[in-house]
């Protein structure tokens, strides 16, 4: 399904997110159900191939009137909190892509809510989970870009927020979930699926007393980045598909 609203150039859709999502969706039996939180221009959403797709964003940056009507696409111009609280589902999603507000607390809340709308073989893709420098993990996007420019004269717009803090939360409080982080072939993203963390050693946070989120700064991230289970894209996709015995 590649119908796109007017005003968006088709060539702009060649992105890593859509490529990875479509590779995973292709492993599922039809019909497939897909949920994306944080859609904005729809660059990823409209390139993803699924029989049923749900988009959630407080403010869509495309013309909703040009989106084909039908039963295959749902558009919810509301916050993710409102969607998960107020919209009732009588089915489960195969894949959920979380690309909303880039703060650990909102992302983790979206993640926990998404678990309730997924089944035993579902996959959750977390965007911007691996900051590129100390500036990109600033919770404020504008400040992150301005501080990088001021301190290093680097005009890069790179911004990931502190969503990386979701990984230690998953590792500590969700032992029946596995994860890996793709760090090649595009933007770093984490894949999460239902499987015991047998391949992952001890928790990053050994007890709840260590769960002081402000202390998980960029230096903490640098010391613990290997525990994010780093892989290239091909390895990560194969691991998830084989682990869930999809296809």
**Mapping DSSP to helix (H, G, I), strand (E, B) and coil, where does residue 224 land?**
helix
Q: What is the pLDDT of residue 207?
A: 52
Give pLDDT, residue 222.
94
- Tens of pLDDT, residue by residue, the chain (247 residues): 334 343 333 333 358 999 999 999 999 998 999 999 999 999 999 999 999 999 999 999 999 888 876 679 999 999 999 999 999 999 999 999 999 999 999 999 999 999 999 999 999 999 999 999 999 999 998 999 999 999 999 999 999 999 999 999 998 899 899 999 999 998 899 999 998 765 454 455 555 556 688 889 999 999 999 999 999 999 999 999 999 988 6
Q: How far apart are CA 70 and CA 88, in angstroms?
A: 19
Helix, strand, coil percentages, rounded to 5, for the chain: 35, 20, 45
Considering the segment(s) 10-241 as one domain, its CATH architecture is 3-Layer(aba) Sandwich (3.40)
Q: Among residues 228, 150, 149, which one has the least CA distance to residue 191? A: 228
Report the pLDDT value the prediction gives residue 196, as an integer from 0 to 100. 78
Closest CA to 113 of 67, 229, 1, 105: 105
Neighbouring C-beta atoms of residue 83, cutoff 10 Å: 22
pLDDT given for residue 208 in this prediction: 52
pLDDT of residue 246: 83
H or E element that contains 231? strand 230-231
In this predicted structure, what is the pLDDT of residue 64?
86
């Amino acid at each position: 399904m590649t119908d796109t609203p007017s005003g968006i150039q088709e060539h702009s859709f060649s992105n890593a997110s859509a490529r990875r999502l479509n590779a995973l969706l292709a492993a599922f039996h039809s019909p497939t159900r897909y949920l994306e939180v944080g859609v904005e221009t729809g660059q990823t959403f409209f390139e993803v191939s699924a029989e049923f797709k749900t988009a959630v964003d407080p403010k869509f940056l495309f013309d909703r009137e040009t989106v084909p009507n039908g039963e295959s696409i749902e558009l919810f111009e509301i916050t993710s909190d409102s969607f998960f609280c107020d919209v009732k589902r009588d089915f489960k999603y195969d894949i959920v892509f979380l690309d909303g507000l880039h703060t650990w607390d909102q992302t983790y809340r979206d993640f926990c809510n998404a678990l309730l709308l997924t089944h035993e073989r579902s996959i959750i893709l977390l965007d911007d989970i691996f900051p590129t420098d100390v500036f990109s993990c600033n919770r404020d996007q504008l400040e992150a870009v301005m501080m990088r420019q001021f301190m290093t004269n680097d005009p890069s717009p790179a911004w990931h927020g502190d969503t990386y803090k979701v990984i230690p939360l998953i590792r500590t409080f969700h032992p029946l979930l596995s994860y890996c982080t793709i760090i090649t072939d595009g933007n770093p993203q984490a894949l999460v699926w239902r499987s015991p963390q047998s391949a992952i050693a001890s928790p990053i946070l050994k007890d709840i007393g260590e769960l002081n989120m402000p202390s998980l700064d960029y230096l903490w991230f640098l010391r613990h980045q290997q525990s994010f289970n780093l892989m290239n894209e091909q390895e990560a996709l194969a691991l998830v598909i084989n682990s869930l015995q999809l296809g």
